[in-house]
Chains A and B, each alone.
Chain A
Amino acid sequence: MIEFDLQYIIENKYENPVRKANFQLLVIPDSNKEQKVRDLKFSCSGSQEMHISKNIFGFKTIQYYIDKPFSEFRFKLSAKIDRNELNPFILSPLTPFEEFQQIQLSDFYIDNYLFLSPTDLTRLPVDLDLPFPVYSDEIQIFDFLIELNSYIFGLLTYSPESTTINTRIEEVLLIKRGVCQDFAHLFVSVCRKNKIPARYVSGFLNQGAEFIGSSQLHAWAEALIPGIGWVGFDSTNNLLADHHYLKIAHGTDYQDCSPIIGVLESSGTQRSIHSVTITNQ
């Protein structure tokens, strides 16, 4: 087991005072069988109380309603996370053909349709002519996904601010650049096209024992392999999601996992800074 100390800060500054706001934050690390969250603390500027609610996938969101004018919003979260060490390399109990048969079943499709249907952010262009790895009943799904992971890693160049949260796959494939969201969306899209359920994951990545600095949240993908379960793949780094990956939430795409959504009564522009600090003992 590894113990992590996590600190996450959001600072929003507004050109003109905001009269009223509703914020929804999806930033609390998930507690599941691989990771436990302890000593969770969060606070923000303003005096109103925050409230924890659950989103449609059962992940905790923080709700914050402010009806007094403000021109700065500061949010701070700290927690300790106990993470199980994980060997992400798992052998499938099924043969490639058995796996293939499973995912062709119509009941399998109905049970997992949410993670099999394309969304606006995970729709592949119709005239896609890139040599993506090909899935067939002769290879294990896990091996196919490893190949896909490394293909996407090679295809796109990581480039901060090259895309926005609304950039479609079509454009990403054209400029061949992107941020972690784009890598994850592309991985998810190709899985779904091959009838392998896949979901978008947001979370924190421990980027090294002493790593301190400003960083966005990270994004990766999880795919459902019959006989094994959900397995995490990080195409941005060509890695399998092991114990350095601390999950917050999953969903069909980025839209389901936005760290902060605000409905504001205001005018003018805003500046936003997110910073993440992770240390492990």
Chain B
Amino acid sequence: MKNHTNGILDSYTLGNTHYDEVYTGSKQPRNHYTSMVERFNQLSLKDFERINNEVKTAFLNQGITFAVYAEDKKPDERIFPFDLFPRIIPNEEWIHLENGVIQRNRAINLFLHDIYHQKKILKDKVVPADLIFSSKNYLKEMVDFTPEAGIYTHISGTDLIKHTNGQYYILEDNLRCPSGVSYVLSNRVALKKSLFDLFDKLKTKAIYHYPEHLLEMLKSVKPKNVDNPTIVVVTPGMYNSAYFEHSFLAQKMGVQLVEGRDLFVEKDFVYMKTIYGPIKVDVIYRRVDDEFIDPLCFRKDSMLGVAGLMNAYRAGNVTLANAPGTGVADDKAVYHYVPDIIKYYLNETPILNNVETFHCEKESEGKYVLDNIDKLVVKPVDESGGYGITIGNRLTKAEIEEVKVRIKSNPRKYIAQPIMSLSVHATFIEESKEFEPRHIDLRTFCLMGKDSEYVLKGGLTRVALKKGNLIVNSSQGGGSKDTWVLD
């Protein structure tokens, strides 16, 4: 037996009510974690802290930061905390995830085409028409218009969690401008620099070629009659919280990073101002929200957009990635229909689970909800940003009665879901100088081009650094881990 008395993971206490990614219930490392745990246990606390500090300094020096906004203050630039202990996904588990993500995004893309053209799924009453038409993200500007190669969601970020039962569940779809991929790539570089020998024992799938795939995908959706497309990344500017990512991706792809004011539209073509004169732009990876992209068409007060861009787009002279109007499909209310959407267009069983959902307007489901409020999360269908959500096991008796009254008064407005618990992963906590279980999720990145589908191997594992916190967002004190898919 090897002596583990000094191992930095020895004092780790299992997160026993949640699925622990690293250890089994008897604190044995799971098979795919054995060598990783062994390697980390060879490090002394002092060594580990030194490496940890070096990595932090390197992130700050490279400007791998995000901005936190507060009223009356300048945005605060922070590094996105990075935990050195990687999250590992065995290959067969990953293949399942990858197939599920592709299946889901393929179906969502067909759904978008349908609701902007024939609207068959609405006429067949699989998805309620009102749900779509009342969404502010359903754009009349996209009706009867087909984007190049029929692709709407060129870049999507599907968020997943692992529940207590060890199964993955889809938490949400991000179909507008999902961020985070720059952290994935930077995390891997940082880990390689600091703990290179980790990569000797375990073989992980490479991720460094993501920008190449992104560039190829963008080229594949170039407008017709263009041979060698000019591609740009459009950013809202350096004060945007994801500005680092915008500049990172532009630089890695070797294309220009521009703002709306660097572009103009003349005769339905888009041009970039350069010191050599105007250059025609063919494909735009835009990180500006729909309502700001064209002041002639959407918000008149937008300073971030390009006047006339939608005319150029609709004339087929420029491709926008993602297409405008994709937000209608990542609406919370539409989420519940995605399994039906998959069956409808692909005639396949969904590979990845949605979180089970009860519609209070259906009599039997409504009754179940009223009888089990303490075990459920109740959400209004038409609110966002977490408003009006109640979590059953945190309610007092009186509050439970209040929720019941609200549901009974307008059952159409509410849905309920089981309380999902995110899996936990050993994470180094600076305050206690120990590894402790912390909740994690996974954002995957999927690219869809003309005849090509690609999912980045792994993705962004976000970790909630505050004890017991379920919110993994960076603005809420979340961090990230490198994510390994074993070769």
Contacts and interface: CB of A to CB of B under 8 A. Distances in A.
A111 B141 CA distance: 16
Interface in A28-85: 49, 51, 53-54, 56, 61, 63, 65, 67
Contacts of A54: 314-315
B308 A56 contact: no
Given A51-B266, A65-B264, A110-B129, A24 B308 contact: yes
A130 interface: no
A152 to B, nearest CB: 26
A53 B315 contact: yes
Contacts of B266: 51, 65
B267 A24 contact: no
Given A22-B296, A53-B315, A263-B296, 5 more contacts: A22-B308, A54-B314, A63-B268, A63-B311, A67-B264
B133 to A, nearest CB: 5
A170 to B, nearest CB: 20
A110 B123 contact: yes
A1 interface: no
Contacts of B307: 22, 263
Interface string A113-130: 110010000000000000
Contacts of B265: 22, 63, 65
A14 interface: no
B7 interface: no
9 contacts: A22-B307, A53-B268, A61-B311, A65-B264, A65-B308, A110-B129, A113-B129, A117-B133, A263-B295
Main secondary structure of the interface of B (DSSP, over half): loop
Interface of A: 22, 24, 49, 51, 53-54, 56, 61, 63, 65, 67, 106-107, 109-111, 113-114, 117, 252, 261, 263
Interface in B249-265: 264-265
Interface in B127-154: 129, 133-134, 140-141, 143, 145
Contacts of B141: 56
A117 B314 CA distance: 24
A139 B308 CA distance: 46
Contacts of A65: 264-266, 308
A114 B268 contact: no
Contacts of A49: 267
Contacts of A61: 311
Bin the interface of chain B by size: 20 to 34
B119 interface: yes
A113 to B, nearest CB: 5
A263 B299 CA distance: 11
Contacts of B267: 49, 51, 63
Interface string B96-133: 00000000000000000000000100110100010001
Contact of B140 (A67, A107, A114): A114
B300 interface: yes
A56 B119 CA distance: 18
Given A22-B265, A51-B266, A263-B295, A63 B308 contact: yes
Contacts of B129: 106, 109-110, 113
8 A-B pairs closest in CB distance: A22-B307, A263-B307, A51-B267, A53-B311, A263-B295, A113-B133, A65-B266, A110-B129
A56 B296 contact: no
A24 B296 contact: yes
Contacts of A109: 129
B305 to A, nearest CB: 9
A127 B296 CA distance: 34
A56 B314 CA distance: 8
Interface string B266-303: 11100000000000000000000000000110001000
B217 to A, nearest CB: 27
A272 to B, nearest CB: 16
A114 B141 CA distance: 11
A186 B134 CA distance: 21
Interface in B315-343: 315
A110 B119 contact: yes
A88 to B, nearest CB: 28
Given A63-B308, A113-B129, A51 B143 contact: no
